[in-house]
Amino acid sequence: MSDLNFSCTQCGKCCHDLRLPLTRPEAIAWLQRGGTVEVLCEAVPWVAEPAASDAPAMHKRQRSFPACSGELPIRVIVVLAASFKGACPHLGRDMQCGIYDNRPHVCRIYPAEVSPFRSVLPSHKQCPPEAWTSPTPFVRNNQVVDAQTQLHVSLLRHGDQLDVAAKAWLCIALDIQSAGLSNEGFMAHCPSPEALHSVLQQTPPVATDRSPRRQWSMVTNQATTFDALCLVSAKPVYARALADGPSHYLGFRPDAPPREQPA
Ligand code: SF4
């Protein structure tokens, strides 16, 4: 996942909207417990294949499927995310996790990062000092060294890659075809729990290199991005022009619409 701050309520950050990235089996289980799961979509312009040595680009490639926005080739990254306002619905009055033995990987790895390109900096986390050293050191040189956490981080990353075909199929089945520009924002799609649960359990048809690439809109709240996407014949949409409905835009920056033209 890129720049959304996914935080664990076990740390006391329970008072605002939170989203927890889930693997597909975790999303099915979360829905079965009555929770809400959103489908977060971001698009990466993909005009040429990266070199194998370009680790960040290869990481994005493994987590995404190919598509188009107008004439612009893109890759779409889809994240299934549990979402809730306030405290996690599984946090009990005793401040204990009600599904502790079955809690998602992302809860098990906190304060480690899902992204392999982010350092784990204690100064950026809310864990008490002793959490970093007891009973054994958690990080060394800003890298996680705790073996259990490393295992869950790799399971989460592996699941992210395994789920790509299912997520591409999910977008077709639920008619999802808009995404934010990577590193600028996401489109958060909120299908009905029943529809999402049903599609997540289906086996996706096998895609081939000849499978047609679907058309996607790229949503932005930045006038400069909108103009740049027009220049490359993509299909941009202003976030503020979106109709009310079960989808909304999550931007990382404040709205920057075009300036009013002088009369
Ligand atoms: S599932 Fe449990 S560990 Fe995860 S956020 Fe909810 S209360 Fe915290």
Say what the pLDDT of residue 143 is.
Answer: 76
- 243-253 average pLDDT score: 89
- Residue 64 half-sphere exposure toward CB, CA atoms < 13 A: 26
Distance of CA 26 from the midpoint of ligand 1 (Å):
12
> Residue 41: which of 9, 11, 69 has the closest Cα?
69
pLDDT tens digit string along 92-109? 999 999 999 999 999 988
Question: Taking the CA atoms of the chain, what radius of gyration do you get in angstroms?
Answer: 19
Kindly indicate the confidence band of residue 2, based on its pLDDT and cuts at 50, 70 and 90. very low
Say what the pLDDT of residue 210 is.
Answer: 67
Would you tell me how many other CB atoms lie within 10 Å of the CB of residue 228? 15
* Percent of the residues in the chain that have a pLDDT greater than 90, as a whole number: 59
Say what the pLDDT of residue 196 is.
Answer: 97
Q: Which has more pLDDT, 77 or 7?
A: 77
Distance of CA 108 from the midpoint of ligand 1 (Å):
9
Shortest-distance atom of ligand 1 to CA 88: 6
Query: Is 152 in a helix, a strand, or coil?
Result: helix
Weakest mean pLDDT among 10-14, 148-152, 223-227: 10-14
Is ligand 1 within 6 A of the CB of residue 97? yes
Say what the pLDDT of residue 203 is.
Answer: 84
d(CA 93, CA 84): 17
Q: Indicate whether 110 belongs to any domain.
A: yes
Q: Indicate whether 218 belongs to any domain.
A: yes
Q: Best substitution site from 9, 30, 101, 108 to test ligand 1's pocket, by max atoms within 8 Å of Cβ?
A: 9
Q: Best substitution site from 6, 7, 10 to test ligand 1's pocket, by max atoms within 8 Å of Cβ?
A: 10
In the predicted structure, residue 86 carries a pLDDT above the cut 60: yes
In the predicted structure, residue 5 carries a pLDDT above the cut 80: no
CA distances from 153 to 109, 188, 230, 249 (A): 6, 24, 38, 28
Give the residue, by CA position, lying nearest to ligand 1 atom 3. 107
Q: Indicate whether 202 belongs to any domain.
A: yes
Distance of CA 96 from the midpoint of ligand 1 (Å):
8
Residues 6+ apart with CB under 8 A from 169: 199, 202, 204, 205
Shortest-distance atom of ligand 1 to CA 89: 6
Distance of CA 94 from the midpoint of ligand 1 (Å):
13
Say what the pLDDT of residue 159 is.
Answer: 84
One-letter amino acid at 151 equals L
Say what the pLDDT of residue 122 is.
Answer: 78
- 188-203 average pLDDT score: 95
CA distances from 28 to 1, 80, 104, 198, 256 (A): 19, 10, 11, 9, 37
Give the residue, by CA position, lying nearest to ligand 1 atom 4. 107
Say what the pLDDT of residue 262 is.
Answer: 59
How many structural domains is the chain composed of? 1
In the predicted structure, residue 175 carries a pLDDT above the cut 90: yes
Place of tokens 């909304």: 248
- Residue 113 half-sphere exposure toward CB, CA atoms < 13 A: 18
In the predicted structure, residue 1 carries a pLDDT above the cut 60: no
Is ligand 1 within 6 A of the CB of residue 107? yes
Q: Indicate whether 246 belongs to any domain.
A: yes
Is ligand 1 within 6 A of the CB of residue 91? yes
Say what the pLDDT of residue 208 is.
Answer: 63
Q: Indicate whether 212 belongs to any domain.
A: yes
In the predicted structure, residue 142 carries a pLDDT above the cut 80: no
Residue 98 lies in domain: 9-119+147-251
- Cβ atoms of residues 204 and 169 within 8 Å: yes
pLDDT tens digit string along 59-79? 999 999 999 999 999 999 999
Say what the pLDDT of residue 194 is.
Answer: 97
Distance of CA 106 from the midpoint of ligand 1 (Å):
9
- 47-52 average pLDDT score: 93
Q: Best substitution site from 88, 96, 102, 152 to test ligand 1's pocket, by max atoms within 8 Å of Cβ?
A: 88
In the predicted structure, residue 3 carries a pLDDT above the cut 50: no
pLDDT tens digit string along 105-133? 999 888 888 888 887 777 777 777 777 77
Q: Indicate whether 182 belongs to any domain.
A: yes
- When the pLDDT of each residue in the chain is averaged and rounded to a whole number, the result is 86
Q: Indicate whether 193 belongs to any domain.
A: yes
> Residue 242: which of 228, 226, 221, 256 has the closest Cα?
221
Q: Indicate whether 257 belongs to any domain.
A: no
Kindly indicate the confidence band of residue 9, based on its pLDDT and cuts at 50, 70 and 90. very low
Give the residue, by CA position, lying nearest to ligand 1 atom 1. 103
